[in-house]
Amino acid sequence: MKALVALAVLLAVMAISACFGSSNISLSDIFAYVSGVNKSSLKESTITILGEIRFPRIIMSALVGGSLASIGAIMQGIFKNPMADPSVLGISSGSALGATIAIVIGVGSTAGIVGLTGTYLGAIIGALVTWLLVWFLARANSGKDLNSTLLSGIAIGSIMSALITVLMTLNMKNMEQVYMWILGTFSNSTLSKTQIMLFVSIPLVLFIILLSPQIDVLKLGDEAAVTLGVNPKRLTGVILSLCSILLAFCVANSGIIGFVGLIIPHCVSFLKVYKMRQKVIMSILMGMIFLVVCDLIARTITAPSEMAIGAITSLIGAPYFLIMIWKEGLVGKMKR
């Protein structure tokens, strides 16, 4: 029931978001475009705006929001840490470094494979290289131990962030472009990028949902998990790999967007959804709603210019998370 309500809210939010922009479009026109009823009565400009600009962006923000929220729920379950989020493995920083390198060397706007820009491809490569480094270090130390993986991710992520700062300092003319990309934006969303994100995110998220109940088994301890037929190391490796690939495409499409993967799983827990599969599904829906709303605010509050969506999510997410810490004693839970 909760999932159905969330789905209805998501559809309503997406429809409302499609109405607003540089030119406002009525809900009746939105319905005509989506349903095909009286679509011939729509202006050509309206069809172009909805089909090539507004809906690709809205769908992209929903896909990224749902993906980040699902990754956050999985990370908090895997690491048994309510403060874990998609950034803990350093993948976001690695992806940002790859995009920064592409911008600095002058291929950021160059169209490559199927029209994808150098920034996009650089972000994907940077994320995947970072995950390989993290996984290699974790395997070399204690055989894929979770703590080794976490510490490796934090260390490599710090190095990547430092390299981004160095590159920005040495290339001041590109600083603004890099800075805006790192803060997050959906302004570069295109139909082709949205299609790629659909083809990548849907199967990965389905695999994550399929495997998520086994994370509940991990809470019983490694020995109990093995007894119940779950291999903790194999499961952790597979799920973290899926999450890392998914995160790579999220960052490539939107830049770094904070707090989505951190606060949305806690909002779901507030709704008394605790089993991992249900929690992941609800996190996806609520993450979609959250980021679609944030993107609407980002592109309308300072129109005709645009605000970085990372600033919006931080302004909403950080105070909300502080309130949750105060009310629910998350810090105390971590100590225990």
Share of the chain above pLDDT 90, in %: 32
Q: What is the C-alpha separation between 104 and 110, in angstroms, rounded?
A: 12
Domains of the chain: total: 1
Residue 58 has a pLDDT of: 96
* 110 pLDDT higher than 50: yes
Over range 139-148, report the average pLDDT: 64
Residue 10: closest CA among 204, 290, 323, 197:
290
Residue 336 has a pLDDT of: 44
* 333 pLDDT higher than 50: no
Q: Residue holding tokens 């490694």?
A: 222
Question: Helix (H, G, I), strand (E, B), or coil: what is residue 63?
Answer: helix
* 26 pLDDT higher than 80: yes
Residue 109 has a pLDDT of: 65
Is the peptide bond prior to 86 cis by the omega test (within 30 degrees of 0)?
no
Share of the chain above pLDDT 70, in %: 92
Residue 327 has a pLDDT of: 67
Distant-in-sequence, close-in-space partners of 318: CB < 8 Å, separation ≥ 6: 259
Residue 118 belongs to what domain range? 2-335
Residue 68 has a pLDDT of: 96
12-50 burial: b if 16+ Cβ within 10 Å, else e: ebbeebbeebeeebeeebbebbeeeeeeeebeeebeebb
Evaluate whether 117 touches 101 at the Cβ level (below 8 Å): no
250-263 burial: b if 16+ Cβ within 10 Å, else e: bbbbbbbbbbbbbb
Residue 250 has a pLDDT of: 92
Q: What is the CATH number of the domain that holds 52?
A: 1.10.3470.10
- Band (pLDDT 50/70/90 cuts) for residue 331 is very low
- Band (pLDDT 50/70/90 cuts) for residue 119 is confident
CA-based angle 62:317:50, to the nearest 5? 25
